[in-house]
Every structure is written in structure tokens, then in C-alpha cells.
Amino acid sequence: MAKNKLMSIDEALDLINNGDEIAIGGMSFHRNPMLMAINIARSNKRDLGLVDREPGLAFDLLTISGRIRRIRAAMVTFEHFGIAPGFRRMVENGEVEFVEDVCEGVMAGLRAGAYGLPFMPSAIALESDLVSLNVKRGIWKIIKDPFNEQELIAVKAIRPDVALVHAHRADERGDIEIYGPKYEDLLKIQAAKKVIITTEEIVSEDYFREHPDRLTIPGFIITAVVHSPKGAWPTSMYGYYKADYDAIKKYFDSVKAGLSIEKVLGVFAHG
């Protein structure tokens, strides 16, 4: 009999260790695992790392929470608001270590991690100033194509300790359904050592037996499932609710004003 992976938010938080590197699902203002991010921000976790290609609200909230020591990302923006405010503040003040990457670099690293490979070749431009920086950091390396001797970048595998992803439906076994845009979530789930799913709905095991085409990721890959209706708010959840741009604007203004994390978290008190 398959293990029941349903647990409370506090039990899921216990799966995250100090110093862990976390990959956050969704993108920008869409399908972020906000409930988990808010609870991590309120916890006593420390020295965490974040890695993402195009992160959004949950990433930015955690960046200013005091729980994060290092971040690796390609583009950290807030759509029409501009650069993510917490990210900008923390990096400019030197309060977090920032490893600047490119979209292709993060994607290649996640693909390698998901496929169980030590690295993935990529088409990153060799002329970029980031090449020497990330070669020095040990996450990129210049190699030669064995077929034509052309130089290219190999990106070291990204294997996050934990992936946090918000799904539409899940059962007790951890089988999940995500519909609409998947972004890099499937790669993050497959690359991560642990996967915590928050979900809008809990369905019976019969749901996926009757609708096998709706299974996005099988349960044996998933570590924990937390029932979290509106768990992506104020970001959107495709097919369920739209992004709450009024709440996002309040967050943006609160962070820009330099308010404390306790007051910033108050933005999410009535979601």
C-alpha cells in the first residue's frame, strides 16, 4: 500500500533544513507556492538558498525574510512594476550573496539535475562577462564539442534540496495534476531531493485511475502534500483565480518603503 503523504504545513516545514537550497515553482505572479513561502518567512529557518530562472513574488518575499543567505537567478522582475523590490534591496545592500545566471544556464543546470547527469552543455554566449565569473564560481566550465571541437559552456547540475510547487489537484499518494503553464516546475520536481506540494484540491486515488491523462507527476517522486486552497494567492492559479494586483502593489509599496518583514507579511493576512 502506498504511503499517505498528506501532512500539515508545520510538518512540511520540518522537511526543510537550515542551509537547504530551495527551488520555487511558478513564475512571476503566477502559481507561486505562497502559503509555503509565507510560513517559511515566519519560521526560524536560516541560511537558506534560492535558485530559479524567472522567479516571482514568493522568491522576493523569502529574499527579504531574513531566512535567505544566497540566491541564484537569471531575471528577478515584477512584470510592469520593474525589478523585484526585495531582491534589489537585499543585493544592493550586500545582505544576500547573489549568483547572477542566465535563463539558459539555469535551464541547463535543472535539466542536468532532472536527468541525473553531472552537467549539461548549453548555447550560452562565450562573449558574456558572466562566463569568467561563473567559471570561477565552479558552476560553468568551457568545454569542447567532441564532434567539431567548438567551444561551449557546460553547466553543472542543479539539484535543489527542496522544490516547493503549488498544484491544482493531488491525492494522498502524492500524484499531482497541474494544468496550464508548467514553467520549469517539472524539471525542478525531478531535480530536487525533496518535493513539497501544496494543492488547491485533494482528490481520491480513483481520480487518477479514471483520468490517467491528467497525471502530471506520479506520487513516488513527491515527498509531501499539503492541502492549501488559495495557496498561490495573491499570485494567479490558472483556471481558479487571477493574480490580485492590488495586493501585489501593496507588497511592492511596503517593501519599497523599507517596512519590516512583520509589516510586509501583514499584506497577506486577509488572503
7 close to 148: Cβ distance less than 8 angstroms: no
Cis peptide before 234 (omega within 30 of 0): yes
pLDDT, tens digit, for every residue of 230-250?
A: 999 999 999 999 999 999 999
pLDDT, tens digit, for every residue of 41-81?
A: 999 999 999 999 999 999 999 999 999 999 999 999 999 99
Inform me whether the pLDDT recorded for 271 exceeds 80.
Answer: no
pLDDT classification of 269: cutoffs 50, 70, 90: confident
pLDDT, tens digit, for every residue of 188-214?
A: 999 999 999 999 999 999 999 999 999
Residue-level pLDDT at 267: 95
Mean pLDDT estimate for the chain: 97
Residue-level pLDDT at 270: 65
Q: Which residue has the higher pLDDT, 188 or 269?
A: 188
Residue-level pLDDT at 146: 94
pLDDT, tens digit, for every residue of 103-136?
A: 999 999 999 999 999 999 999 999 999 999 999 9
